[in-house]
Amino acid sequence: MMQGRWAAFDKEFMQTKERLNFANSEFEKEVRLADVQEQSRRHAELLTNIRSISSGSITTTKDMVTNVTLPRNERFTGRDSVLALLHSELAPSVQEELTLRARCSCVIHAVGGMGKTEIALEYTYRYGYCYSHVFWLRAQTASVLLDSFLDVVDKLDLGVKGMDPDKRVRLGLEWFQTTSRCF
């Protein structure tokens, strides 16, 4: 009889332990997300303060090089936590230098109709000032990806227009591999 009670107690204990571990894991995810949201809020506040102090005197030395031609969706709302998480993955931390970023690109994936393009577009407009280059590659097929990459190589103005596609691809890849910073 004691052995039966012990087995039931042991089973209940293990189930409780699993539930606590799961709850702890979910709590840690929420803490990380809250941290990202707070960093994003502070960042936006700091930008507002800088803009108000400078009264529009901020000038950039160079325009962003991009192949993004879609206009900003002025009706975009929500998804702030997704955008903040995306920015935290792509932007350098306070301790890192710009040249030492761990990630210089990101893939947004989900089933069709979930708003991937809208999120990427909003990110481009919201955080574009952080980057000197922003490129989108279309990859529906291998030939579309090649055409998209060749367009990017042309945007880089490497003096390769008119060269055969293989050489342009090689030079473009070399540029991406040897450029010492992320964009």
Q: For 37-48, give the DSSP string.
A: HHHHHHHHHHHH
For the chain, the structural domain boundaries read 1-58, 72-132, 137-183
Which element (helix H / strand E) includes 19? helix 2-54
Contact 47, 127 (CB under 8 A): no
Q: How many CB atoms lie within 10 A of CB 123?
A: 20
pTM greater than 0.75: no
- Which range of 26-35, 39-48, 82-91 scores highest in mean pLDDT? It is 26-35
Distance CA 34, CA 69 (A): 33
In percent, how much of the chain has pLDDT > 70? 80
Q: Which of 157, 135, 162, 166 is nearest to 148 (CA)?
A: 135
Digit-coded pLDDT (tens) for 93-119: 555 554 444 556 777 888 888 888 899
Distance CA 114, CA 110 (A): 7
Q: Which of 64, 39, 48, 33 is nearest to 130 (CA)?
A: 64
Distance CA 142, CA 146 (A): 6
Q: How many CB atoms lie within 10 A of CB 168?
A: 19
The pLDDT of residue 58: 35
Digit-coded pLDDT (tens) for 129-181: 887 788 888 888 989 999 999 988 888 888 877 788 889 898 888 888 887 55
